[in-house]
Amino acid sequence: MNFLLAFLPILVVLILMLILHWSSPKAGLAGWIAGIAVALLAFGLNWPVFWVSEGKAILLTLNVVLVLWPGIFIYYLVDQMGGIRAIAARLDSMVHDKGWLLILQAWMLSTILESLAGFGLPIAMVSPLLIAMGVEPVLAVAATALGHTWAGSTGGMAISLRILSEITHYSPEALFPDSAILLGISIVLTGLAVAFMLGQKKQWWRVLITGTVTAVVHYFVGVWGMIPISALIASVSGFLVGSTLSKNDGSVKAEQINKVSLRAGLVGYGTLVSVMLVVSLVPSVNKFLSSFIWTIAFPQVSTNAGVLTPAENGNLLHLFTHPGSLILLTLALIIPIFKFVSSFPDPDLGKTLRSTIHSALPASLGSLFMISLSTIMEHAGMTQVLAQGLSNFAGVLFPIFSPLVGMLGSFATGSNVNSNVLFGTLQKTVAILVGASPLVMMGAQTTGGSLGSMIAPAKLAVGVSTTPELKNREGEVLRKTLPVSLIIALLIGIAAWLMSY
């Protein structure tokens, strides 16, 4: 009975989003209210536990918002100047085998865009390119939905991995290696899936070479301290390596690309990468900036049912090495360049801000309510009850199903961030109960959450928005991506099981 009650708030979120098609903020708010009610009536929630859990939730949400808003702002700023499309066109001009170009667009180009922005935009921007090259619309959207998913954990300045770190109290550096191994497997598997879906089976050897190089680059860039840009550098490297494997008989001309737009894109994201490299790799700079931290101390609290949460600090915010701070620094450097260098068109900062608010505000509210629900459940002992029930049911085989749990979270909420918030602590607790490696289980969780992007209705809805032929036809895309996502998730689960013990 307690297991069903503990699961009820999550079930509320799932039903509202999957069946009633509520937005993430509305469903998150309803789930949060349901969580408070269940915790109050059945798990002994009291005022001290409530305010401590919600105080920690606000700090965790701040961690997300500080990346989300500047990250979306820089994307819209560069995109307004044509920089995103110019970068994409320049990359496309390097690949001359049409079949291989289709794969690289759906797989690596979409991943580059996921690393820069996310929120369904990779599907919305890349699938029209495939359609223009003769790919049937449903296949174009499905292939792009498949291809970009592996970057859901470490793309977008690694927000998903960072929030998983804060929820589970493992550092990003501790979480990354095992996660990167599982994500590396998914890189290759999604590439093969894209090739088969686009009818390009003969390209399998190129996929294996490109995918392996991308996975290796992704792993070592993150291990060397640049986790926030590991997916970006890896996907660009993958595209560059893939372009060397193509035949030199194409018709796309580099001189057709708007050079001003291309320079704007390179200035914007080139500056961001440079700032990241300096802060991450120059020891003296990193040590100095890392010394500026801020947090809030929370007291020990206990529910009326006796669930104790020891005194601890909330989310530790590194003021000047936080990815959001580095994006803000980048904006401070590039906005004057765009405004006062005559070779660039004068950007409309008001328009950029309005676009940012339109995209970031719902995501921020959704994150706040989802994180608040997660912290309520953890502090009230509901997460422990769920974990105990799952461990009793699956036992040592649970790692096989761990990616499916992460995928379920993304499917329901449309976000790997929210999936990690909902299920991160749960997966950690189950791992401890069944004797599996918690770090591997965290990797399986966030990898499954990434894969969930290819079946998340919210992501697919954004993805088909630029394809008029597919209006209200997300279900057809889902029927293409769902079987593939389940197969890949089970393969990742088997790998996680082998790594866990």
- Helix or strand holding residue 129 (H, E): helix 121-132
Cβ neighbours of residue 255 under 8 Å, at least 6 residues apart? none
Instruction: Tell me which residue of 458, 354, 365 sits closest to 73, measured CA to CA.
Output: 354
Structure token pair of residue 114: 């996921």
- The whole-model pTM stands at 0.73
Is residue 192 within 8 A of residue 85, CB to CB? The reply is no
- Quote the CA–CA distance of 440 and 208 in Å, as a whole number: 24
Is residue 373 within 8 A of residue 33, CB to CB? The reply is no
Which long-range contacts link 390-398 to residues 24+ away (Cβ below 8 Å)? 390/426, 390/430, 391/430, 391/433, 391/434, 394/434, 395/434, 396/434, 396/435, 396/436, 396/501, 397/497, 398/430, 398/431, 398/434, 398/436
Instruction: Decide: residue 319, CB within 10 A, 0-12 exposed, 13-18 middle, 19+ buried.
Output: middle
DSSP class of residue 322? Answer: S
Is residue 422 within 8 A of residue 409, CB to CB? The reply is yes
- Quote the CA–CA distance of 459 and 440 in Å, as a whole number: 27
DSSP string, 259-297: HHHHHHHHHHHHHHHHHHHHHHH-HHHHHHHHT-EE--E
pLDDT tens, per residue, the chain with 501 residues: 788 998 898 888 778 866 776 776 888 899 899 999 999 999 999 999 999 999 988 887 887 788 778 877 887 898 888 887 787 777 677 777 889 989 998 999 889 878 876 656 677 678 877 886 788 888 988 999 999 998 988 987 787 898 899 888 899 999 999 999 999 999 999 999 999 999 999 999 999 999 999 999 999 999 998 898 899 899 999 999 998 887 654 444 555 677 888 899 889 888 987 887 788 677 788 788 888 888 889 999 999 999 888 888 877 777 888 778 888 999 999 999 998 888 888 889 999 999 888 877 877 887 788 778 888 988 998 877 887 887 788 889 999 989 988 887 787 666 788 788 778 888 998 899 889 999 999 999 999 999 988 887 666 765 665 565 666 566 778 788 888 999 999 999 999 999 998
For helices 47-80 and 83-92, the axis angle rounded to 10 degrees is 70
- Quote the CA–CA distance of 68 and 163 in Å, as a whole number: 12
CA gyration radius for the chain?
22
Burial 8-19 (b: 16+ CB within 10 A, else e): bbbebbbebbee
Cα angle: 382, vertex 384, 390; to 5 degrees: 105
